[in-house]
Structures are given as C-alpha cells and as structure tokens.
Amino acid sequence: MKNTILCIFVIIMCLYVTNSFSDSSVKTYIDSADDKMNHDNYSGAIQDYNKAIDLAPTRIDAYNARAFAKYEMEDYAGAIQDYTKSIELVPKNAEAYYWRGLTKYKLQDYTGAIQDYNKAIELDPNDLKIYFDMAKTYGDNPGAVQDYNNAIESDPKNAKAYYLRGFTKYDSGNDTGAIQDYNKAIELDPKNASAYYWRGIAKEQLGNNKEASEDLSKARELGHTNAYNKAGITK
C-alpha cells in the first residue's frame, strides 16, 4: 500500500515538474518572439511562436501574434489560418474577426472581409476602427453596399442593416441619408447606443449641435464608451 501511494506521489510530482517546465518554456519562446516582433524580425518571431504553439496549442495570444507576423510578411493565407484558429478557441474574439477581415481585404475578398467586420462590430460595437475599415472596403467594392439594401428589402425590421447602411452613407458624405437610416435603426432598436452616437456625429457635421449633444448624451447613457470623448470624429 505504501509503495502504491509512493508511486502515485512520484507520478504527480513528475507531471507537475513537466507542466512547470513546459509553461516556462512557452513563456520563454513567446517573450523571445515578442522581442523579435519589436525589431521587425517577423520570420524569427514566427519560428518562436511555432515552438510555443507546439508546447501550448491553445494559446490564442500566440496564434494572434503569429498571424500578425504573417500579415506583415504578406503571408495572408497563413494569417487567416491563424486568426481562424484563434476564433475557434475563443468564438467571441472581436479582434481576431477584425484582423481576419482586414487580411481578407488584402486578398480582395471583400465579401468575406465585410462578413468578418460585421461580426467584429456585433461583438464590439464601440471599436471605431472596424467601421472605418469596413467603409473603406465598401469604397473599393461599391456593389457590396447592395447587401444592406437587399437585407432591408427582405426584412424591413432589420435594425442592424439600417444602422450599418447609415454608417456607409455617413462615410461617403451623405449625412442626411445617414441620419435617416439611424432614425429607422433607433425606431426598431431604441437601445442601440452606437446608432445614437453616429447619428449625433452626423448631426454635428450638419451643424445641428443641440440635437447632436442630445444624441451623444443618450449614447453615453446607454454605455457607448466613445461618446465620452464626443468631440473627436470629423471627416
């Protein structure tokens, strides 16, 4: 009996030491890779991230960082694979969707890029960069705007489609048209903080400062973080 207990204890200790060594090695590889990234040594960084992932196949930080290194080396297909793996591990990963969309844009997969941007917005509607990169994608592929028109035609109560079409109009300089779409989005979804925020910004562009202030206050009330920095968006 004592020998059995001793054997179990030894096995447990061996597993503990092995795991501790593995964790330490993973950190060493990631630290080394991060340092190489800071010096634009993307190829060397990828080699270190590879080793870290071999030891810890569920480290999403390693997948995300390796994906960015591949992106910088214009290995867009490889970057998409890593962002996809990151999303598999953490499905509510807004940044991974955003970067995968950006990478698809580089491959001129505009439809795929917009799908990823939409998902990123769904997960993090306060991240302004997603909207501007999506608008850029629409600018390079104007036919894609028809997707929102089709969505509204098939479902007139699709608040998200009105909201996103409104932003597209805003980015193209059609502030009045944007406000009309934001009005409809808010009518269908009165708690859409981002719709209030962007409607306020569009009204500000038109010089309707009082109404703009009211919309931005409402956006703050509903929890839109960028509304606290109201001044900042101009075209």
CATH fold match for the domains 24-91 and 151-235: yes
For the stretch 101-148, pLDDT in tens is 999 999 999 889 989 998 998 899 888 888 888 888 877 666 656 778
Fold of 24-91: 1.25.40
Q: pLDDT tens, 148-192?
A: 888 899 899 999 889 988 988 888 889 999 999 999 999 999 999
pLDDT, mean over the chain? 85
Read off the pTM: 0.70
Which distant-in-sequence residues (6+ apart) come within 8 Å of 105 by Cβ?
113, 133, 136, 137, 140
Tell which CATH classification among 1.10.357.10, 1.25.40.10, 3.40.640.10, 1.10.10.10 matches the domain 151-235: 1.25.40.10
- CA 126 – CA 106 distance, rounded (Å): 24
Domain-wise residue ranges, the chain = 24-91, 99-140, 151-235
Q: What is the pLDDT of residue 13?
A: 40
Q: How many CB atoms lie within 10 A of CB 68?
A: 19
Of 212, 210, 219, 218, the residue nearest 234 (C-alpha): 212
Q: Is 45 exposed, middle or buried (0-12, 13-18, 19+ CB in 10 A)?
A: buried
Residue range 216-230: average pLDDT? 82
Highest mean pLDDT among 22-36, 57-71, 161-175: 57-71
The DSSP element (H or E) to which 181 belongs, if any, is: helix 175-188
